[in-house]
Amino acid sequence: MSDASDESDDPTVPIVCEACGTTSRVPLSELRESLDTHNEHRHDGEEIAQVDPVIADELANAVADDLGLFESDE
């Protein structure tokens, strides 16, 4: 049995580009570079491709909940 590489432990993130009609999953560690590269080559640098909005919203809500931003002072 071979050892798993560090990259295989890196979670993947879904990205979408509605302009190109494409979706893909990239390792979290490569997310920014992948988005920048796609947008630079396909969209003249305009930020068209992005993290799947549903996932981005869920992540933002989870972080806000962890930080206690949804708690009321009642």
Per-residue pLDDT at 71 = 78
State the Cα angle at 51 between 48 and 56, rounded to 5°. Answer: 130
Taking the C-alpha atoms of residue 32 and residue 35, their distance in angstroms, rounded to an integer, is 5
Q: State how far the alpha carbon of 12 is from the alpha carbons of 27, 34, 39, 50, 74, in Å.
A: 4, 12, 19, 14, 39
Residue 15, token pair as written in the block: 């990205």
Summarize pLDDT for 22-53 with one digit per residue, the tens.
999 999 999 999 999 999 999 999 999 999 99
pLDDT surpasses 50 at 1 = no
What pTM was estimated for this model as a whole? 0.71
Per-residue pLDDT at 74 = 53
